[in-house]
Amino acid sequence: MIASLKSGGLPFLLPMLTLMLGVFIVPFGVLAAYSLMAGDAPGLLGNYADFLSDWFNVEVVIDTIKLAAMVTVAATLVGTPIALLYWHGGSFVRQAVVFLTLLPLLTSNVVRTFAWIVLLGREGPLVAITHALGLTETPTTFMFTEGGLVLAQTQIELPLLVLPLIAVLSRLDARLVEAAEISGAGPWRILGTVLIPLALPGYIAGWILTFASATTNFVTQTTIGGARHIYLPQYVFREVGVLFDWPSAAAISVILVISTGSVMLALAMLARHPRLVGSV
Amino acid sequence: MFERRSSRIASIAYWAFVYGGGGVCVVFLIAPVVVAMLLSFTSAKTLQFPPPGFSLQWYARLIDPVASEQIHISAWNSVKIAILAVLGSLVFTVPASYGMVRIPARLANILEPILLAPLVLPALVFGIALLITAALLGFRPSTPLVVVSHLVVFGPLMFRTTAGVAARLDPGLEDASMLLGSSRLGTFRRIIVPLLTPGVLAGAFLIFVQSIDNVSMTMFLAPPGTSVLPLRMYAMLEQQLDPRIAAISGVLIIVSLVALIVVQRLAPLLRDKD
């Protein structure tokens, strides 16, 4: 009986495996092949050469990665105190933190973006506050600014950073922290040398999710970033929806996957680095 | 003496950081949801925060079958798409989540990334990939294509919640059923599926929320002229803000809130001790 439990599962997996290979993986292959072969551009890499030969386009790639990096850093700074609140809190505080992290995550992205449009706008409270404090001279708006976009996206992606972090903390052996306390380490030292190193796998998982989501958040980028701040997803949309240039759209999509994927891959490899993770 | 005092200051600073800083950051995290909710009850004609007074006028406008006919049509279309995506996911992911715990661990480690790939790769790019592949096969953008894209990209969410429950199943129940002469398929249908229900419900909720919210794939794959809720809401954001978007937001937030409370009781999306 025990043997039967560790086998015989494969037939149950086949439908989903077929679906994922046939309808998810294969279209990605088709996209890559199409970006190389379709279109009028000469040569195998013609569509790519066309796009990357314009320095403005290269800047859009760099801006997209920069935006996602800023959002990830900001989410780390804001997410760490939330995770610590969870770690030190009792049962009620812990449940509250989990609930208050899940609710925004499960609230539509369009809804959260809408709230930020009102908050950042000319008649919004942020403008009123900064004006009252004398930080801005005339009433202005934070809409269509990079700072406003980073602020909004930080809140929107924040649950993706916090959830893996508290998932790791909830499994963390409290005796390791107690041992550090008994040895006379102060709270900051425990944070820096015990808690954060042990939580690093959670941070890395969170960074990957946050970064991925921040690069492709089309809705927030186009509405709050506006026409003056352009990122790759908007480009892809313009090529498909406005210019009907599918070969270019395919090439830009592949560039989007490669440029952001390489950052995520680097983070994933960091997670496997034996001297960084799990060495405490 | 000096050292003890500085360590006490460091300690006070730490607790201020955890409870003060943590509290402020939690407020930042939840504030936009609260703001959207408050805005939906505004008595003003435009969306300003804080709202000058309370009224249900925008909910009344939203319910009005004539003034908001287009919104009703698009909401119904989106609900249909979401329900079909959930039903499709049931067929594929529930057997898979059970199969996953009944294969050797090494094989599971190889197969799992394939099943979870849609959770990491950008959905926007998959939307284009599917659009191009379908076009090469002779299919035009259509509602079934939207359903397929939502099924493939969000289905793994249900696989994850269901696999979490399947991994904690008591193998003894299965042994007993099979010793008593039930086939593996019969055991799956009568014993396993009912036990997986909490995970299935949690997954269904996640897929539903994502499907109702999805702009990036839907905008490429929906046939021109079809009205779906996320695209309509997105259009409302891009033009001058129609205050009815606040009322739609209010409805969506309340639905999420109620579903979240139910799911956290049945199959917590994040357990305290896992």
Of A10, A97, A246, the CB nearest to B26: A97
* C-alpha to C-alpha distance for B150 and B155, rounded to whole angstroms: 7
Chain B residues near residue A12 by CB distance under 8 angstroms? 95-96, 98-99, 102, 188
Contact B102 A9 (CB under 8 A): yes
CA distance B4 to chain A (A): 11
* C-alpha to C-alpha distance for A74 and A86, rounded to whole angstroms: 19
Helices and strands of chain B, counted as H and E runs: 13, 0
* C-alpha to C-alpha distance for A71 and B210, rounded to whole angstroms: 22
SS3 state at B54: strand
Say which DSSP state B16 is in: I
CA dihedral A44, A46, A49, A51 (to 10 degrees): -130
Interface test with A, best of B14, B24, B29, B48 (most A CBs within 10 A): B29
CA B40 vs CA B76, B110, B210: distances in Å: 21, 48, 22
Chain B residues near residue A249 by CB distance under 8 angstroms? 128
For B104, the token pair is: 């050797």
CA dihedral A105, A233, B208, B164 (to 10 degrees): -60
The answer to whether residues A69 and A155 touch, using CB atoms and an 8 Å cutoff, is no
Of A15, A103, A125, the CB nearest to B49: A125
CATH, domain range A44-272: 1.10.3720.10
CA distance B66 to chain A (A): 24
- The CATH code of the domain that includes B236 is 1.10.3720.10
Strand partners of residue B42 = B54
Chain A residues near residue B32 by CB distance under 8 angstroms? 104, 112, 115-116, 119, 155
Nearest alpha-carbon partner for B215 in B124, B97, B102: B124
Note the pLDDT of residue B3.
59
In a domain, B130, yes or no: yes
pTM for the complete prediction? 0.91
Note the pLDDT of residue B270.
67
* C-alpha to C-alpha distance for B188 and B167, rounded to whole angstroms: 14
Q: What is the pLDDT of residues B200-257, one digit of tens each?
A: 999 999 999 999 999 999 999 999 888 899 999 999 988 878 889 999 999 999 999 9
Nearest alpha-carbon partner for B118 in B106, B110, B127: B127
Contact A24 B271 (CB under 8 A): no
In a domain, B4, yes or no: no
* C-alpha to C-alpha distance for B189 and B193, rounded to whole angstroms: 6
For A116, the token pair is: 């930020």
Note the pLDDT of residue B91.
95
Note the pLDDT of residue A280.
39
In a domain, B33, yes or no: no
CA atoms within 13 Å, Cβ hemisphere of B80:
12
In a domain, B11, yes or no: no
CA distance A216 to chain B (A): 7
Contact A110 B98 (CB under 8 A): no
- Residue A184 forms contact with B (CB below 8 Å): no
In a domain, B243, yes or no: yes
CA distance B80 to chain A (A): 17
User: In chain B, which stretches have pLDDT less than 70?
Assistant: 1-3, 270-274
In a domain, B177, yes or no: yes
- Residue A233 forms contact with B (CB below 8 Å): yes
SS3 state at B35: helix
DSSP letters, B245-261, are HHHHHHHHHHHHHHHHH
Q: What residue ranges in chain B does DSSP mark as E strands?
A: none
Per-residue pLDDT tens, chain A, 280 aa: give them. Answer: 444 455 678 889 999 999 999 999 999 999 999 999 887 777 788 899 989 999 999 999 999 999 999 999 999 999 999 999 999 999 999 999 999 999 999 998 999 999 999 999 888 888 888 888 877 777 678 889 999 999 999 999 999 999 999 999 988 888 888 898 888 888 899 999 889 999 999 999 999 999 999 999 999 999 999 888 899 999 888 888 888 889 999 999 999 999 888 998 898 888 777 665 544 3
Nearest alpha-carbon partner for B34 in B19, B51, B22, B21: B51
SS3 state at B130: helix
Contact B99 A9 (CB under 8 A): yes
Nearest alpha-carbon partner for B242 in B77, B70, B89: B70
* Cβ–Cβ pairs < 8 A, chains A and B: 294
The answer to whether residues B165 and B206 touch, using CB atoms and an 8 Å cutoff, is no
ipTM of the complex in this document: 0.90
Nearest residue in chain B measured CA to CA from A268: B120
Number of structural domains chain B divides into: 1
CA B265 vs CA A87, B16, B127, B218, B269: distances in Å: 22, 32, 34, 32, 9
Note the pLDDT of residue B173.
82
- Residue A3 forms contact with B (CB below 8 Å): no
**Tokens 């809705």 — which residue?**
A219
CA distance A132 to chain B (A): 16
The answer to whether residues A224 and A149 touch, using CB atoms and an 8 Å cutoff, is yes
Domain span at residue B171 reads 68-266
Nearest alpha-carbon partner for B118 in B164, B159, B78, B80: B159
Contact A103 B122 (CB under 8 A): no
Q: Please state the separation of Cα A125 from the chain's center in Å.
A: 27
DSSP letters, chain A, are -HHHHTSS-HHHHHHHHHHIIIIIIHHHHHHHHHHHHSSSSSSTTHHHHHHHTSHHHHHHHHHHHHHHHHHHHHHHHHHHHHHHHHHHS-HHHHHHHHHHHHHHHHS-HHHHHHHHHHHHSTTSHHHHHHHHTTSSSS----TTSHHHHHHHHHHHHHHHHHHHHHHHHHHS-HHHHHHHHHTT--HHHHIIIIIHHHHHHHHHHHHHHHHHHHHH-HHHIIIIITTTS--HHHHHHIIIIIS--HHHHHHHHHHHHHHHHHHHHHHHHHHH-TTTSS--
Residues 6+ apart with CB under 8 A from A46: A39, A40
Interface test with A, best of B121, B210, B257, B260 (most A CBs within 10 A): B121
Chain B residues near residue A23 by CB distance under 8 angstroms? 130, 148, 152
Nearest residue in chain B measured CA to CA from A78: B25
* C-alpha to C-alpha distance for A85 and B26, rounded to whole angstroms: 9
- Residue A23 forms contact with B (CB below 8 Å): yes
